[in-house]
Amino acid sequence: MLANIAPMARRSATVTAAVAAVMVVFSAVLAGHKGLIGAAIAVVLVAAFFGLSVLALSRAAKINAQAMMLAGMGTYLVKILVLLFLVGRFQNSTAFNPFVFGLTAIVLVLVYDIVLAITWTKTKQLYVEPDGER
């Protein structure tokens, strides 16, 4: 199971990085240098979030599938709550454009998750652990 995490994460990260570049340019054009800063902060935040998720899932996969599912759900819940907190905390910020920050973060999270889901559905994954005694 652990072997399937890395290729899926790499594919999702690659597509998300391309979308992140587009969002940074779009944000700079849309909102100037404050938009650029807001988009850059969102890119760093989303990259850190998903990097920590891959780390947590990799460690949980060594235990069993139930631990992996729990780790995935737990990290996703924590990421969403932290993102909601940060968007609420910085909604009146003058250092960067908070709208662009939130928009970029949401777009990148959705792109990462959609690519991950598509990649997962195309992966031939055993849903029953073979006992090896046949």
Enumerate the domain spans of the chain: 2-120
pLDDT in tens, 50-95: 888 888 888 887 888 788 888 888 988 988 898 888 888 888 888 8
Residue type, 106: I
- Provide the whole-model pTM: 0.80
CA-based Rg of the chain, rounded to a whole angstrom? Answer: 17
pLDDT in tens, 24-55: 999 999 999 999 999 999 999 999 988 888 88
Q: Give the closest residue to 90 by CA, choosing from 17, 48, 49, 37.
A: 37
